Each structure stands twice: as structure tokens, then as C-alpha cells.
Amino acid sequence: VDMSGGTVTVLEKVPVSKGQLKQYFYETKCNPMGYTKEGCRGIDKRHWNSQCRTTQSYVRALTMDSKKRIG
């Protein structure tokens, strides 16, 4: 569903001048307890005390509507 409420298809491949590129999307989620005893990697080499909070974000994607319009 797009921002206007219309049904769209997310295109797997995006046409570019030298062929096609694949669109990639991924989802991450937190540990149900909100933390792990190991902490989150990459925050700080000395401080491993961290928390995970579930958030929602929106990203741009190349899509096609029912009239075959790509945008």
C-alpha cells in the first residue's frame, strides 16, 4: 500500500542505465526481553550496556501500480 492508500507492487529489480539492480529490504527485531546479556555489538568497544527498542521506519522503494506506472 502506498502513501495514498493505493495497492502497489514493490519491484524486485530496478532498471538502471547499465542493466538492473535488485532492491533489498530487511527487518530486524529486538529480543523479547529488550536486551541480551552480551549487549549490542558495535556500540562501543568499552561499554556493552545497551538496550534494544522496537521502532518503525519507512523507506523509499520503486513500485508499480495497477496501471503499470513505475515510481
Predicted TM-score of the model (pTM)? 0.51
Q: Given a cut of 80, is residue 5 above it in pLDDT?
A: yes
pLDDT on residue 56 = 80
Beta carbons of 23 and 33 less than 8 angstroms apart: no
Cell of 16: 538502471
Q: What is the pLDDT of residues 7-53, one digit of tens each?
A: 999 999 988 899 999 988 877 776 666 555 555 555 555 655 556 67
Count the domains in the chain: 1
Per-residue pLDDT, 8: 92
Q: Supply the range of the domain harboring residue 40.
A: 1-71
DSSP β-bridge partners for residue 20? 15
Tell me the CA distances in angstroms from 28 to 10, 14, 38, 51, 54, one per residue in order: 19, 24, 17, 14, 9
